[in-house]
Structure 1
Amino acid sequence: MRGHLKKSFLKRCRPMLEFADPRAFFLLPLPVLSYFLLPRQMSAGTALVVPEGVGRHIMAGAATGARGLAGVRLLAPFAVWVLLVTALAGPRALAPQQALPMSGRDLMIALDLSGSMVRDDFTLDGAKATRLDAVKHVGAAFARARAGDRVGLVVFGSEAYVAAAPTFDTDAIARTITELVIGISGRATNISDGLGLSLKRLESSDADTKVVILLSDGANNAGAATPRDVAALAGKMGVRVHTIALGPIALAEAPDQRGVVDVDTLRAMSDLSGGQMFRVRTTDDLRGVAQALDALEPTARAGLSAQTYREYWIWPALLAGALSLWFGLWIRR
């Protein structure tokens, strides 16, 4: 026990300062070697003829001042050299930080931006809200909480587009969700292309787990392929597709009514790919789905330790510059 405490104490007291390239200190004796090894150059000058008494007075004063100046003339340049070499060696201190947790999962969120998403049959904070507003509110919070996942965003209407490429910056994905507007991808409902584009983004992924969360409030009425065929392809690729059927009325309940959700197709899509289908009629249902998906696809809670360095080379460099400036001004007096 005592030995363990001693090791712990020594570890805490160990200096954190180190040098990125300590070999730079081999340059320290360079000025001394240059002084002794390089041939000296004698400068020729003109002679000043003065009376003997005046000459003795000048030489006595010069000798007295020379003793004081010699030390400064020698030490100041050497101090500048030491500081510059220290800066070149790169003093730095270890600053351990907690890295982003890595879940090994790539997650694509595919959101329906068809015209029916403007229907105001949801509520937020006690007030009427459109389906899109409810999705923005809950979806942004869901994306922001996916720390450790690489998350991308696809939106689809008549066409499908990548609104945000897969990234670990979940805050950026959340901001993109809050900025979505109806019409940028057309007003039809092309579920097939929305899922197909998500699969294309996951095709080259080397993640251990690949997941698509697809939300739609309608029935597929655009695109060449059928949603079931694309979902079957997802199953062959090893991609789980969780579908969210958004809207109070299902297509099977009112086949002739517009703006109803095709629950049966969305359920078949999730079954074919090994995912789950969620039925959402209210904002509270949508919040519950977000919690259920968090349980089905948990995020990583513990991150890997990352080592970064805080650089200090600037301080000896600045000090060397200040000392050089002072010495230059002092020598010119």
Structure 2
Amino acid sequence: MDAVAVIGGGLAGLALAAGLDPRRFRVTVHERREELPPVETSLAMWPEAQQALDALGILPAVRAAGSRFGGMALMDGAGTPFFRTQAPGVIGVSRADLLSLLAAAVPDSVARAYGQVRTLPDAGLVVGADGVHSRVRRAVWGNRCRARLSPYVALRGVIAEPVTPGTGGEYWGRGQLFGITPASQGRTYWYASYRSDQGPDGIAVDEALAITRARFAGSSAVIGSVLAAATSAQTLAQRIWTAPPLRRYAREGAVLVGDAAHAMMPNLGRGACEALIDAVTLAELLNSRPLPDALQAYSRRRWLRSQGLRVASSAMARLALAERAQPLRDGLLRLAGWGR
């Protein structure tokens, strides 16, 4: 059997471990901590990601645990819609539920190792599924490929109240955005982003929430009610980091998946989806081809799409968080909305 060391037990790492053929690979998943994330967040599963989940045999369970998106809107900061649209087939699922379902799909033959990985394991293949600050990427691709700090902070959380009909979607203000989407069990998932010098490490959630409430005080009353219900115990506050552009995702004996390969701005809502597609694509290729051929094919298949989305997400972030250009942006969006 070929030994595969998967560094990172998040979405991409678990999906890969679930997809690899246990008759061919001896897999060990290395993860820093055993428990699930303490703060719940929600993920949008687009149709391509659902195909990946179907290949792992857990799509029915994800659909049962999640909630379907209904009509969504893009609005200005006051809540006046630029336009409304539908999101047919998109499922919202909590990260904790998805991690649990992926973990249950991992064969019993897969070994688990907990604790920080300081040196890369001795294995036929080392998989970097360890996020934007990937140790595998730095060790194999070099320190020039360290993560890049964006000027933006992101807050995310869940409140118990359901989404008020007609209020779901994104609110684009001047240099700030706010999002509201359905979460499982009738709750609401919210997120906010704006330019900030908080952090980059160890951001105090209470302080970040206070700053966010002050920043959005003149925005839609819906935003105010969501932030009033938000608690620090159910909120994440982080600076946004991105991965540098890479020319390929595989080198001899090492390969990157998910955020380790192409961590992007969150404005397209595609990071988790692309991580799952990476993992299932890589598993299918490793199961059916010799290792060198599989790694080359994986890099060719996934590079153009994921790097294109990385660039597009950065462009979307600049548009959504525009400051001086905000009046022009809003005018153009209103024109686009009237044409629908």
Short-chain TM bin: under 0.3
Q: TM-score normalised to the size of structure 1?
A: 0.28
Higher helix share: 1
TM score, norm. by length of structure 2: 0.27
Bigger Rg, structure 1 or 2: 1
